[in-house]
């Protein structure tokens, strides 16, 4: 059997005497697309830190791309992980092409005197074309819409040809049309980069791509449910995780969530 891309086993995490995670376990295999779901403060960002080889657990084990955290050189491991963060801390007015190229160097700014190899430049142009950015490749970061920034950051994350792609609330700040365009872009990756495994963090079910295959639902640092998406993202599980009566529906491979209406008494029954 293939080595899992991610494997968390009975993971705990403590920060300043406060326990953030309690016995978190789940396993991700190549080609799967996981959603990491839960309310604010549930531990999603901490778990994503393990997936990105940024955070070490207090106890338990974390394997990323077959390597155990604590027994591997992290910088080398991170070169095989693409990370999409809508809060990208860029301050220079780089062009879209320049930003995507920084995915190869693993930097925020363009390194001095660095030039891409011909194959690297070709790979970036192919990514720009795939994600609909080639015609605006010379547009600069300050002038981009939030949707264009989102697609640029996905291209940047893919530039290093990662085995694992992490998407940290990629729809943050997008209007409805831009969100749908971004989700279509993420769905497209299942065809153009079918070998990549992904983990997407959100607390809105409407922000899940159609290609989502599995999910982890967290609440107060504990796993409520983990496994195939259709068995995890249910009315009962989501209501438990968010401590609120939520009705979950799925249509055309997309999820919606609404507060469950309380049953009103029948006036006729009182007579």
| Mean pLDDT on 231-249 | 95
- Name the CATH code of domain 6-80+164-270 (choices 3.30.200.20, 3.40.50.300, 3.65.10.10, 3.20.20.80): 3.40.50.300
What is the pLDDT confidence band of residue 268, given thresholds at 50, 70 and 90?
Answer: low
- pLDDT (tens digit, 9 = 90+) per residue, 126-149? 999 999 999 999 999 999 999 999
Q: Which pLDDT score, from 0 to 100, does residue 265 have?
A: 57
| Mean pLDDT on 235-262 | 91
- CA–CA distance, 260 with 63 (Å, rounded to integer): 39
Sheet holding 197-202, edge to edge: 81-84, 164-168, 197-202, 33-37, 214-219, 222-228
How many angstroms separate the Cα of 58 from the Cα of each of 18, 42, 55, 232?
Answer: 11, 17, 10, 27
Q: Which pair of tokens denotes residue 38? A: 């839960």
- pLDDT (tens digit, 9 = 90+) per residue, 41-63? 899 999 999 999 998 999 999 99
- pLDDT (tens digit, 9 = 90+) per residue, 9-37? 999 999 888 999 999 999 999 999 999 99
When the pLDDT of each residue in the chain is averaged and rounded to a whole number, the result is 91
Task: Tell me the domain boundaries of the chain.
Answer: 6-80+164-270, 89-161
Would the pLDDT of 112 be above 90? no
Q: Which of 119, 111, 183 is nearest to 151 (CA)?
A: 183
Supply angle C-alpha 91, 138, 159, rounded to 5.
Answer: 75
- CA–CA distance, 166 with 88 (Å, rounded to integer): 14
pTM of the model: 0.90
Would the pLDDT of 271 be above 80? no
What is the pLDDT confidence band of residue 76, given thresholds at 50, 70 and 90?
Answer: confident
- CA–CA distance, 78 with 81 (Å, rounded to integer): 5
Q: Using an 8 Å Cβ cutoff, are 158 and 165 in contact? A: yes
Q: Which of 58, 54, 55, 1 is nearest to 27 (CA)?
A: 1
Q: Which pLDDT score, from 0 to 100, does residue 98 have?
A: 94
């Amino acid at each position: 059997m293939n080595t899992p891309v991610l494997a968390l086993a009975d993971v705990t995490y403590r920060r300043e005497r406060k326990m953030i995670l309690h016995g978190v376990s789940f396993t991700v295999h190549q080609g799967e697309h996981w959603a990491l779901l839960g309310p604010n403060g549930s531990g999603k960002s901490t778990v994503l830190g393990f997936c990105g080889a940024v955070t070490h657990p207090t106890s338990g084990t974390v394997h990323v791309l077959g390597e155990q955290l604590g027994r591997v050189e992290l910088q080398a491991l991170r070169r095989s992980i693409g990370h999409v963060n809508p809060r990208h801390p860029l301050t220079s007015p780089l062009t879209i092409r320049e930003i995507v190229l920084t995915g190869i160097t693993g930097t925020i700014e363009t390194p001095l005197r660095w030039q891409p190899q011909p194959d690297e430049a070709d790979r970036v142009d192919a990514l720009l074309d795939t994600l609909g950015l080639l015609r605006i490749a010379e547009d600069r970061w300050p002038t981009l819409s939030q949707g264009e920034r989102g697609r640029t950051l996905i291209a940047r994350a893919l530039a290093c040809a990662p085995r694992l792609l992490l998407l940290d609330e990629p729809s943050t700040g997008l209007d409805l049309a831009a969100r749908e365009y971004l989700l279509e872009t993420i769905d497209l990756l299942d065809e153009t980069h079918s070998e990549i495994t992904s983990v997407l963090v959100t607390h809105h079910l409407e922000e899940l791509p159609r290609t989502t295959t599995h999910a982890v639902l967290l609440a107060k640092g504990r796993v409520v449910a983990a496994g195939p998406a259709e068995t995890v993202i249910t009315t009962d599980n989501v209501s438990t995780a968010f401590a609120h009566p939520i009705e979950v529906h799925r249509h055309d491979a997309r999820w919606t969530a609404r507060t469950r209406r309380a049953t009103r008494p029948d006036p006729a029954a009182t007579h």
